[in-house]
Amino acid sequence: MINTAGVDRLVVSSPAIVQVSPLSARLLMIQETRSLLTRIEKVKSFALYETMVPAAALSLAAQAAIERYLSQGRRELRQMGRALSRLESLPCPTIAAIEGPARGGGVEIALACDLRVMSTEADLGLVQITLGLTPGWGAGQRLLRLVGYSRALEWLLIGRVLTAQEALAYGLANIGSSPRQALQEALELARKIASQPATAVQAIKRLLRAGMLLSPELAAANEQTEFPPLWAAEAHLQAVEKFFRRT
């Protein structure tokens, strides 16, 4: 449920389910996928969206991903790909709070978010190569856009696991936190963003995403189309009026 600060939280999974059997884990992850698809569709009108991916859930996501590849194959692969594409294309910013080790599918989910907050106890590893696999939910392309071809290629080829400090240095994480404080830091960031005019927040996300997907010329033209409606919007007029009152 969205709260008065304009922030919503989605818990992708729970550390408690780390104790279940492999078969139960696979069924739970399939249910989580379907729930994620439904929740993402409902969240499109929210001013801000924040997602927490607990450490144990991240590890379980990788384990369940292996099970899905063996038993469900392409159907589940397409399902998660669609879910993360919808998550990525939400009009509002998304934040992943990572409290511990993240592997495989957990990293796929985190990279589909716009921003990432990592505790000092967290790390990120796209380790599919060690299982004879590639990323399958879009993380390869997202990693490429974030760190460039050479680094993405190296990390995927050797199954590199990055510490929180390394993730911050390479731009994979935005904020570091003390142990077990990633969620609180993510919520604080979410509240700061939610305090800004929602139309401007969404426009900034649109124009930056356009810059990743379009040519520089088209992206610049797109940015110019975003500006005029905001100039005449109520939020801007109120801000100008407030400024002149102060002076």
For the chain, the distance separating the N- and C-terminal CA atoms, rounded to the nearest angstrom, is: 40
Q: Which residue has the tokens 């998304």?
A: 94
User: Which CATH number fits the domain 8-194, given the four candidates 2.102.10.10, 3.40.1830.10, 1.10.10.10, 3.90.226.10?
Assistant: 3.90.226.10
Give CA 55 to chain center in angstroms: 15
233-241 LR contacts (CB < 8 Å, sep 24+)? 233/197, 233/199, 233/200, 235/197, 235/199, 235/200, 236/197
Mean pLDDT (whole number) for 68-88? 76
pLDDT at site 238: 85
Place of tokens 């990525």: 88
Give the confidence band of 162 by pLDDT, cuts at 50, 70, 90: very high
Question: pLDDT higher for 52 or 19?
Answer: 52
Distance of CA 218 to the CA centre of its chain: 25
Task: Please answer whether residues 61 and 84 qualify as being in contact, where contact means their C-beta atoms are separated by less than 8 angstroms.
Answer: no
The ranges assigned to domains in the chain are 8-194, 198-246
Give the pLDDT confidence score for residue 174 in this predicted structure. Answer: 96
Residue 37: which pLDDT band, with cuts at 50, 70 and 90?
A: low
> Tokens at residue 122, please?
């967290």
